[in-house]
């Protein structure tokens, strides 16, 4: 009986991805990471650093804060376009907002006047709707010579002031903050580095890197007791 030829069985396809497939998968992975970062940065949280003394003692120069944007503001990456969401700040809440002067970095102040409030400063003390405002967060007594108002806060606007009243450029000088300019509110301090204020200003990358390097070499430059202090 003659033997029959067995048909050849084609080899099974390799389960290993090719170099091109691996490269494409890695690119897709990084794209998702970047998109997730931009989404979080634009709508959920942002990291900010404090460059001035206007919010002492609540915030010190070199405090790094995590800011919640959730419910306050959403920004389209790389466009500068943003939209206000459903949440509004409360009186005496600390907020982050776009500076009223073009080209200036965002500011951090405390909400003092709400829409419709009637404000007055009498001998340095703030009065809201005929009642003196209790302000335990002030580092020092305000100057007794300061008298302003009365003024009424317009709709969809807020009157903000720095806690360090004698060293704060705020609504007393440039007016009200529109609701559309509010970015969010600080949640907690995640790092605090004792370094000069210019290290934390925009465009001072060399000074900022020097401040971080000094903190690594000299951990006593980090204000450890301020880490994770909430608002």
Integer Cα distance of 43 and 212 in angstroms: 28
Catalytic-labelled residue, pool 52, 68, 109, 192: 109
Query: Residue 120: what are its φ and ψ, rounded to 5°?
Result: -155, 145
CA 124 and chain centroid, separation: 29
Catalytic-labelled residue, pool 52, 54, 68, 171: 54
| 14 catalytic residue (yes or no) | no
| 109 catalytic residue (yes or no) | yes
| 3-state SS track over the chain | CCCCCCCCCCCCCCCCCCHHHHHHHHHHHHHHHHHHHHHHHHHCEEEEECCCCCCCCCCCCCEEEEEECCCCEEECCCCCCEEECCCCCCCCCEEEECCCCCCCCCEEEEEEECCCCEEEEECCEEEECCEECCCCCCCCCCCCCCCEEEEECCCCEEEEECCCHHHCCCHHHHCCEEHHHEEEEEEEEEEEECCCHHHHCCCCHHHHHHHHHHHHHCHHHECHHHCCCEC
Q: Which amino acids are annotated catalytic?
A: 54, 109
């Amino acid at each position: 009986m003659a033997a029959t030829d067995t048909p050849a069985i084609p080899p099974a396809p390799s389960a290993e991805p090719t170099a091109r497939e691996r490269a494409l998968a890695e690119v897709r992975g990084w794209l998702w990471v970047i998109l997730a970062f931009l989404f979080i940065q634009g709508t959920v949280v942002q990291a900010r650093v404090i460059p001035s003394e206007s919010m002492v003692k609540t915030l010190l120069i070199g405090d790094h804060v995590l800011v919640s944007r959730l419910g306050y503001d959403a920004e389209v990456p790389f466009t500068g376009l943003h939209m206000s969401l459903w949440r509004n700040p409360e009186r005496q809440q600390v907020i982050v907002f776009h500076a009223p002067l073009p080209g200036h970095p965002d500011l951090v102040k405390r909400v003092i006047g709400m829409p419709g409030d009637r404000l007055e400063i009498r001998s340095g003390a703030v009065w809201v709707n005929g009642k003196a405002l209790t302000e335990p967060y002030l580092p020092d007594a305000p100057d007794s010579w300061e008298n302003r108002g009365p003024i009424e806060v317009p709709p969809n606007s807020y009157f903000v002031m720095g806690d360090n009243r004698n060293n704060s450029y705020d609504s007393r000088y440039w007016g009200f903050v529109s609701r559309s300019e509010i970015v969010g509110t600080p949640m907690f301090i995640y790092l605090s580095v004792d370094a000069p204020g210019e290290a934390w200003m925009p465009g001072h990358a060399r000074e900022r890197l020097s401040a971080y390097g000094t903190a690594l070499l000299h951990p006593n430059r980090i204000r450890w007791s301020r880490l994770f202090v909430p608002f």
